Amino acid sequence: MKRYRAIVVDGKKIVRRATAFGIAVLVTAMVGINIRIADPNGELGKRMMDGRKIVGESIPGLYGTREGVFWGSAVRSLKKAICFVLTFDPWDGRTSIFGEIPIVRAVSEGYLARTANQAALAAYNPQNADMGEGMAEPETPVGESYPIKEVDSAQSGGTSKITIRNETSFSINIDEMLNEPLKFDMKGDTPKVLIVHTHGTESYSPEGASTYETDKSDRTLDKEKNVVKVGTAIKAVLEENGIAVIHDTTLHDHPDFNGSYENSRKTVEGYLRKYPNICMVLDVHRDAFIYDDGSKAKFATEVNGVKAAQLMLVVGTNGGGLEHPEWRENMKLALKLQKKICEKYPKLMRGVNLRKERFNGHLTYGSLIIEVGSSGNTLSEAVSGAQFAAKEIAGFLNTLK
């Protein structure tokens, strides 16, 4: 005789939850009305729209997900409060209605597990751009301690063979680009190189750190401790080798991370008006990589007996829809620099990262992002890696005089 398992659906509970959800929606709407009353000129709305525009410069597909650090935090706090009052997540149908049906709940839990894993894999942020909802870094549980793992991320396992992490639909012929001439030269005495920091507050781990605390910030306004210091080191090496450089130390991501790329674009355009012969713009960043177990990566190698952070060149394109017709010129420069650096230091560079986002690369033929280490590296490692690379960059640029 077959036995059947009865499935009982608590209709009253579903109705109660639906009613509670309706109340929550009503409260949210009332808050929205109050905001509108308090903001009759719509300045908040304009700011939000601007935020979407700026995020589009960083990561297409995040439109509408990021309204600035304050507003992103406020939205998350409001959601948490509503979930606490309702005792379930009203934004997830699996927890509000399907959760009452055992079979569907089992399927839902499998789905949630897969979703969580996908979110962890997506935490790798090569450009260290906005991750959405006001966050600039991959998120980990607050107030916990996790290890920092040293990782050798050299291209092609530390050989001079150039590799590309292509996140676009464009095809790249490396040999062809290496053999093509650039559309600029380094002749003349006027400044030809501009160093900027779109995310200037990005900083590093303390010296000797083997763990990190999730409630400690990876950002600082102290220009002696963030990526501005790395830019200063690059400038010094370039100048020592005969390259005229301007280093802008503006923290373009402070106080509003949302406006970072718009702010740095205006800065670069201002310098180009004043120094029209600038042909190379280096936007110096540092990466961030959090594994799904919460550990943080530091990309490091040893050069001449010195521990150095590994670097990555990032090239933007028009793949995201923004105008950037000459992005291949940026790519040619990146490949030529990659080749030059790796011939001397095979393990210093990670693979070149080609992206859909524009990253202000349309402003010159020689615009590049250079990621110096990650948040797991120390400042001294970042400075060392940048100095080794800068000397080779200077050597290449001097061949263009």
* Tokens representing residue 258 in the block: 């949302």
Query: What are the tens digits of pLDDT across the range 241-251?
Result: 999 999 999 99
Residue 114 lies in a domain: yes
In a shared domain, residues 116 and 158:
no
Query: What are the tens digits of pLDDT across the range 143-152?
Result: 789 999 999 9
Kindly state the DSSP code that residue 356 receives in the 8-state scheme.
Answer: S
In a shared domain, residues 116 and 219:
no
User: What per-residue confidence (pLDDT) applies to 181?
Assistant: 98
In a shared domain, residues 78 and 159:
no
* Tokens representing residue 253 in the block: 């991501």
Residue 371 lies in a domain: yes
Name the residue with tokens 């090496």: 237
Q: How many domains does the chain have?
A: 2
Mean pLDDT of 316-333: 98
Q: What secondary structure does DSSP assign to 137-186, as a single string?
A: S----TT-EEEEEEE---GGGTSS---EEE-SS----HHHHHHSPPS---
User: What per-residue confidence (pLDDT) applies to 74?
Assistant: 53
Domain range for 212: 145-398
Q: CB of 230 within 8 A of CB of 383? A: yes
Mean pLDDT of 333-344: 98
Mean pLDDT of 2-8: 42
In a shared domain, residues 165 and 89:
no
Q: How far is CA 316 from CA 109, 122, 322, in A?
A: 38, 19, 10
Residue 5 lies in a domain: no
In a shared domain, residues 171 and 209:
yes
Q: What secondary structure does DSSP assign to 77-125, as a single string?
A: HHHHHHHHHHTS-TT-HHHHTGGGSHHHHHHHHHHHHHHHHHHHHTT-B
Residue 339 lies in a domain: yes
**Residue 205 belongs to domain with CATH number:** 3.40.630.40
In a shared domain, residues 157 and 66:
no
Query: What are the tens digits of pLDDT across the range 94-147?
Result: 344 434 444 333 333 333 333 333 333 333 343 334 332 333 456 656 678 999
Residue 132 lies in a domain: no
Query: Last residue of some domain: 80, 106, 121?
Result: 121
Q: CB of 178 within 8 A of CB of 334? A: no
Query: Last residue of some domain: 84, 106, 121?
Result: 121
Burial label, 5 (beta-carbon count in 10 A; 0-12, 13-18, 19+): exposed
Residue 231 lies in a domain: yes
In a shared domain, residues 106 and 213:
no
SS3 228: helix
- Does pTM top 0.75 for this prediction? no
Q: CB of 199 within 8 A of CB of 251? A: no
328 or 112: which leads in pLDDT: 328
- Is the pLDDT at 394 greater than 80? The verdict is yes
User: What per-residue confidence (pLDDT) applies to 26?
Assistant: 57
Mean pLDDT of 3-8: 42
Dihedral over alpha carbons 225, 304, 373, 194 (to 10 degrees)? 70
Hey, CA dihedral for 99, 88, 119, 317, is it positive or negative? positive
In a shared domain, residues 112 and 164:
no
User: If pLDDT is split at 50, 70 and 90, which confidence band does 25 have?
Assistant: low
Residue 2 lies in a domain: no
In a shared domain, residues 164 and 108:
no
In a shared domain, residues 312 and 209:
yes
In a shared domain, residues 111 and 180:
no
Q: What secondary structure does DSSP assign to 238-291, as a single string?
A: HHHTT--EEE----TTSS-GGGHHHHHHHHHHHHHHH-TT--EEEEEEEEB-B-
Residue 354 lies in a domain: yes
Query: What are the tens digits of pLDDT across the range 262-297?
Result: 999 999 999 999 999 999 999 999 999 999 999 999
Pairing, β 311-315 against β 366-374: antiparallel
In a shared domain, residues 333 and 380:
yes
Rounded distance between C-alpha atoms, residue 121 and residue 144, angstroms: 20
